[in-house]
Amino acid sequence: MTKNKLIKFGLIMAVGMNIGGVLLFSRFFTNPVINELDPVVMSNFGLLMIVIRGLAYLASAFITSNIKWLAGAFVIEKLVYVVTWLLWLANNNLSNVYDKDLFAGIFYSIYGINDFVFMMFFAWVFLLNNKNG
């Protein structure tokens, strides 16, 4: 797989996780437990913005020129979510979340790991294009 195809594949995967994951686990924005557990970051508005960001990843997948700085911005965005998730985990009990709702439990168990993986992917894209300015 060529570098450009690998980048496009990674971006499409990010689309699937951001849009598909949010819509699945929030049950199309009807799961009140996700909102209740983090009413600022994971409000329905916050979840909608994650979906919109997925659309930005989709648009990025079709850019044929260097996306170094766009990938760099995505690294920072993912870092913010990873840190937010770690702080959330430090102050909440996942067992209690699973007791309230299985989908919310899965969501809060994996969203930071998912963001970390894609943060590393975007960092790789940024560094890969570092020679190109």
| Per-residue pLDDT of the chain in tens (133 residues, 90 and over written 9) | 788 899 999 999 999 999 999 999 999 999 999 999 999 999 999 999 999 999 999 999 999 888 999 999 999 999 999 999 999 999 999 999 999 999 999 999 999 999 999 999 999 999 998 664 4
Q: Please give the angle made by the CA atoms of 130, 73 and 87, to the nearest 5 degrees.
A: 125
The per-residue pLDDT for 1 is 75
The per-residue pLDDT for 131 is 62
